[in-house]
Amino acid sequence: MTDLTRLTAAELAEKIHSREVTSAQVTRAHLDRIAQVDGRVHAFLHVDTEGALAAAEAVDAELDKGAAPASPLAGVPLALKDVFVTKDVPTTCGSKMLEGWLPPYDSTVAARLRAAGVVILGKTNMDEFAMGSSTENSAYGPTRNPWDPDRIPGGSGGGSSASLAAFEAPLAIGTDTGGSIRQPGAVTGTVGAKPTYGGVSRYGLIAFSSSLDQGGPCARTVLDAALLHEAIAGHDPADATSIEAPVPRVVEAARAGAKGDLSGTRVGVVREFAGEGYQSGVSAAFDAAVEQLRALGAEVVEVSCPHFQYALAAYYLIAPSEASSNLARFDAMRYGLRTGDDGGASAEQVMAATREAGFGPEVKRRIMLGTFALSSGYYDAYYGQAQKVRTLIARDFAAAYEQVDVLVSPTTPTTAFKIGERVDDPMAMYLADLCTIPANLAGTAALSVPCGLSPDDGLPVGLQIMAPALADERMYRVGAAYESATEPLINRVPELGGEQ
Amino acid sequence: MTDEELDTFAGQLDQILSSVASVGEVAAADVPPTSHAVPLTNVFREDAPREGLSQQQALSGAPAAEQGRFRVPRILGEEQ
């Protein structure tokens, strides 16, 4: 029998809906795979075996009655980043602060997945409160990259992307504040999309930087990502920043793109995203991808976005500022960790003791940085100035999209680095998000698709395709076209040690 | 924070701050700030009544609860 864990979500859905296999069989195959390999990958913080099988059996029961599938992905399993609140299923956000917490409600994303008949296998590992680029900041230990267990799987959504590359799940959900879907996608040879800001509801997404956070799909193919995108996207009255506009037709775009014809499409290469700091193998893979786009008929031009070089600095003022405010809610009173409550200590002392014990180093660094950037006397020079730079970055995008349909760059300047390599050097860690941050600051859409292995170290490289706000379909069309012309990278993931 | 953490963070924060200070190089005196990528004001939704959390659910994650309420450490000082 076919190994069900090797199929795409679209293939699995087809087999489940035609009753060739049951959702329970598919779900069991993935749970078995998790049991077999996750000790080496550590993609999951919690595996919900019982909940997943019950959800799968419910889908099967409906289909057996002859009902139409609840959605195109009904019955397909998925791994959910632990930043999304799930009713009665542990949600930690990678932090000791929320260890053992059972949320009393579902995030909109989780509720939409359940309504679509998608089977949630469990919750994936992440950098604490989504702050990081390597998943090493998780309070529960790092996730390992299936391509090389000594290397990082990216972050903050390293668990989600690693679960795809390890064939533990065909679909996953991530969140992208500065690149946390796209960078893990790039370094694990998988696909990840950051929808237009406001495209996917943030209700029940534990807030890091509210003006930047955006949930989105992770998958092994562009079509699968598009199917998942449509399952979770759309206006939500519970999120005041959710956009009241039709969901971009990304599935149709992915199917059209897969025909491999990009004639008439104008592609802009961002001049600022090259040169010093870029690994030569990454540049080589990227240049080859651009040539491939040209071969598919795209018209390729170079575009300058002069303020992108300040995006990283602006981001590391804006995101920590918002985080310092958002994380004030962890006050040890209504839910989450409480320490030092000995009967004599005051509320303030308990709060301080709890936050000292509950937050890891990166979270503390960002709270201090953000508090400083917002403090009177420094506000104008730091936070205020960063907001102005944000305006200039959005203007750079607007000017570029007058000339081209999509922009492209490498997703990350380097391939996956070694676990431990950048842990003590925060600035080096931050550089991993150099190319992904501008799209967050401007609220526009961006996708990372695998673009081969770096010739210098044999590790996956990501091609970033960016599109204007609410034109997400463009990046899916170009991404699917590129994918159709290349060998699927994912088939080259080495078997995880100790098997066969 | 522990003293050890303070020592580590002081150096790191100094390095990060001197790096992000580069935003100051940009001439932006007459540029309006952007606080949010999507300019939205006064977003309304239907004022539809719906079930909230029950008292039991609301207290389910509480570090300490008593008589159906959150129990918190003292909030007033000795002399107050």
* Below-70 pLDDT ranges, chain A: 1, 497-500
Cα–Cα distances in Å, from A276 out to A282, A302, A311, A416?
Answer: 12, 18, 16, 18
Cβ atoms A241, A108 nearer than 8 A: no
Distance from CA of A411 to the nearest CA of B (A): 21
B28, A303 contact by CB (below 8 A): no
pLDDT, position B39: 77
Residue B79: what pLDDT? Answer: 58
As a whole number of Å, the CA-based R_g of chain A is: 21
Q: CA torsion A414→A419→A422→A428, rounded to 10°? A: 20
Chain B contacts of A103, Cβ < 8 Å? 61
pLDDT given at position A497: 62
- CATH 3.20.20.120 describes domain A4-308+391-492: no
Q: Would you call A347 and B75 a contact, using CB atoms and an 8 Å cutoff?
A: yes
pLDDT given at position A499 = 45
Residue A13's pLDDT is: 98
Q: What is the pLDDT of residues A317-368, one digit of tens each?
A: 999 999 999 999 999 999 999 999 998 999 999 999 999 999 999 999 999 9
pLDDT of residue B37: 82
**What's residue B80's pLDDT?**
52
Give ipTM to 2 decimals: 0.92
Position A1 scores a pLDDT of: 62
**Hey, are the CB atoms on A389 and B23 less than 8 Å from each other?**
yes
Nearest CB neighbour to B62, from listed A334, A346, A356: A334
Residue of chain A minimizing CA distance to B40 = A241
Pairing outcome for strands A215-219 and A171-175 = antiparallel
Q: What is the pLDDT of residues B18-68, one digit of tens each?
A: 999 999 999 888 999 998 887 788 888 888 898 999 999 999 999 999 999
Q: How confident is the model at residue A500, as a pLDDT?
A: 36
Interchain contact, B19 vs A382, CB within 8 Å? no
